[in-house]
Amino acid sequence: MDIAHPVLLAAFLLLAGVLASKLSYRLGVPALLLFLALGMLAGSEGVIGIEFADPEPAMLIGVLALCLILFDGGLHTDVRSMSSGVKRDGVLLATLGVMLTAGLVAVFAVYVLGLDLVTGLLLGAIVSSTDAAAVFAVLRAKNIGIKERVRSVLEFESGSNDPTAVFLTVTFITLATSGAHAGWLVPVVFVYKLAGGLLAGYVLGRVLVALLNWIDLEYDGLYPVVTLASVGVVFGLAEVIGTSGFMAVYVAGLTMADRVFVHRNSLLRFHEGLAWLMQIAMFVVLGLLAFPMRLIEAAPDGIFVALLLIFVARPFSVMITLAFSDMTLRERTMVSWVGLRGAAPIILATFPLVAGVTGAEYLFDVVFFAVIVSVLLQGPSVAVMARKLRVDAPLDAPDAYPIEISAPADIGVKIKRLVIGPDSEAAGARLVDIGGPTRPLVVMLRRGGRIFVPTGRTLLEEDDELFVLGDPESIREFRALLSSALPDAPTATS
């Protein structure tokens, strides 16, 4: 049995995916597009010619990857900074917004594309959820950010809208394959799945935090194994009791993000790297499943669906859903534009293939092509739209600390990185003379390539980097005193 060649090929595809992510940053194109292209090039009609036409393993890999990506997204979300308005808008977009999008696409699919009602509803359900990860990858590449309110709504929506799309897709697949439907029970089941998934995620997230803080393992390397296995446990238990596993893993991540647990920084980095691995693997596999010649045939309908989503369905659903929000018209317009389709629609498009739905290959090809068009058209234009709508903001680009430092989330303090600007009165002064008794504690100073712990007699210089520990208010006052600050680096509490 030849083992070397499959291992070498898998390693090559993984490394190529990493290089593709670097290229996507420079080009301002979401990495998922390059991952898909890589899979297509390696597929049966590509250069390498890997024969892969089984949707079942692709669906399994996609579901597993989506679980880990959602869990990581929850872990990296600052729940405490979210206002009640942000949570309300995000929930509405993730439920009512997804339903309105699915319904509009279904109507046009029936009357314009000539699909039957059930197939049209299934198509609408599959493409109804968004992928904010792709959007923010573009924003980072373009060196621009979005106002905090808009960004928070989009992040919250993107993490919580997949369960709605999954529920609608599974419901319409059941209707297409058996003709059975639950009638008035459908909304009851929907509420149960989402509410049950939310509750299960919260409870299991709390349990996981308690487990991590109690278990006291002999080897630090086993803690990532615990959290990795726990993602599967959370998803599996939620699904077994009939609730939404996707909602549960995302809420479990959110619950952990708001609490203190051992090895927090190392676990966050582990799951961030794992999420990237899952993205590469998922999109390469989905690319392998696509056949370019079939995609060409589906191109007209795929283009129509993509344009319908971008210019009709998404804007309509956002404006209706956020009609009573306190967001400005410009902010709502930006939310409507940031509606890139990505991982979830393509994964959901494998569900009908596995279930044997009539016309499933057509649906997969149309969805696949629509995702490509959405990424190509919207991806590079998001930064431009943010500027034109005047909802852009300075990008809070991360910069790694020279050593791993963090502060417990439950004591109300943070560690931040500040810099002494060229016009600051702090330049040339002693540390003890700057900021008075209320200033935060300066725990470390970096000057050029040298790192040391300063004393009160340390003379400060222009471009000195100060790592300070204190409450948010004292840090803000000290930042203003220094008159210039580098972007905050991510910490366990930021």
Please report the DSSP string for 117-147 in residue order. HHHHHHHHHHT----HHHHHHHHHHTT-EE-
Q: H or E segment at 393?
A: strand 392-393
Nearest in space to 193 (alpha carbons), one of 248, 255, 127, 231: 248
Report the pLDDT value the prediction gives residue 207, as an integer from 0 to 100: 95
CA 473, 477, 478, 480 dihedral sign is positive
The pLDDT of residue 490 is: 44
Query: pTM of the entire structure?
Result: 0.79
C-alpha 147/C-alpha 395 separation (Å) is 9
Work out the average pLDDT over 197-211: 94
Q: Which of 91-105, 276-290, 369-383, 421-435 has the highest mean pLDDT?
A: 91-105
Candidates 206, 253, 193, 243; CA nearest to 68 is 253
Q: How confident is the model at residue 332 (pLDDT cuts 50, 70, 90)?
A: very high
**Collapsing DSSP states into helix, strand and coil, what is residue 414?**
strand
What is the mean predicted confidence (pLDDT) over 74-80? 81
Which residue, 85, 284, 248, 231, is CA-closest to 162? 248
Average pLDDT over residues 164-181: 84
pLDDT, tens digit, for every residue of 371-386?
989 888 887 788 788 8
Q: Kind of pairing, strands 450-452 and 441-447?
A: antiparallel
pLDDT exceeds 70 at position 132: no
pLDDT recorded at residue 102: 95
* DSSP-assigned letter for residue 477: H
pLDDT at 405: 57
Question: From residue 400, how far is each of 110, 403, 465, 490 by CA, in Å?
Answer: 52, 8, 12, 8
Question: With 80 as the cut, is the pLDDT of residue 162 above it?
Answer: yes
Q: CA–CA separation, 37 vs 311, rounded Å? A: 25
Q: With 90 as the cut, is the pLDDT of residue 177 above it?
A: no
User: What was the pLDDT predicted at 487?
Assistant: 43
The most confident of 44-48, 136-140, 174-178, 246-250, by mean pLDDT: 246-250
- Per 3-state DSSP, the chain is made up of helix, strand and coil in percentages (nearest 5) of 65, 5, 30
The pLDDT assigned to 3 comes to: 82
**pLDDT score recorded for residue 397:** 46
What is the pLDDT at residue 230? 96
Per-residue pLDDT, 17: 79
Mean pLDDT of 145-172: 86
**pLDDT at residue 486, rounded to an integer:** 44
And the tokens for 138? Answer: 């573009």
CB atoms within 10 A of CB 50: 15
- The CA-based angle 75-254-144, given to 5 degrees, is 60
Least confident of 305-319, 390-404, 459-473: 390-404
The mean-pLDDT minimum among 59-73, 107-121, 274-288 falls in 274-288
**303 confidence band (pLDDT: 50, 70, 90):** very high
Amino acid at 43: G
pLDDT at 225 over 90: yes
- The pLDDT of residue 179 is 66
pLDDT reported for residue 428: 85
Amino acid at the residue 144: I
Domain coordinates in residue numbering, the chain: 4-393, 409-482
Which residues make beta-bridge pairs with 393?
145
Query: Angle at CA 366, nearest 5°, toward 153 and 359?
Result: 120
pLDDT grade for 139, boundaries at 50, 70 and 90: low
Structure confidence at residue 494 as a pLDDT band (50, 70, 90):
very low
238: nearest Cα among 207, 201, 189 = 201
Q: Could you tell me whether strands 392-393 and 414-419 are parallel, antiparallel, or unpaired per DSSP bridges?
A: unpaired
pLDDT band at 89 (very low <50, low <70, confident <90, very high): very high
In this prediction, residue 492 carries a pLDDT of 39
What does pLDDT average to over the chain? Answer: 84
Beta strand extents in 135-216 (DSSP E only): 145-146
Q: Write down the pLDDT at residue 366.
A: 95
Q: What is the mean pLDDT of residues 476-482?
A: 81
Q: What is the mean pLDDT of residues 140-152?
A: 70
CATH architecture for the domain at 4-393: Up-down Bundle (1.20)
Strand, helix or coil at 451?
A: strand
H or E element, residue 316: helix 314-321
pLDDT digits (tens, 9 = 90+) for 335-348: 999 888 887 898 89
- Structure tokens, 41: 């090039």
pLDDT above 60 (res 25): yes
Instruction: Supply the pLDDT for residue 121.
Output: 93
**Looking at per-residue confidence, does 271 or 135 come out higher?**
271
Mean pLDDT across the stretch 23-28?
66
Contacts (Cβ under 8 Å, ≥6 apart) of 170: 351
The CATH number of 409-482 is 3.30.70.1450
Taking 90 as the threshold, does the pLDDT of residue 288 lie above it?
A: no
pLDDT tens-place string over residues 437-471? 778 888 888 887 788 888 888 888 888 888 888 88
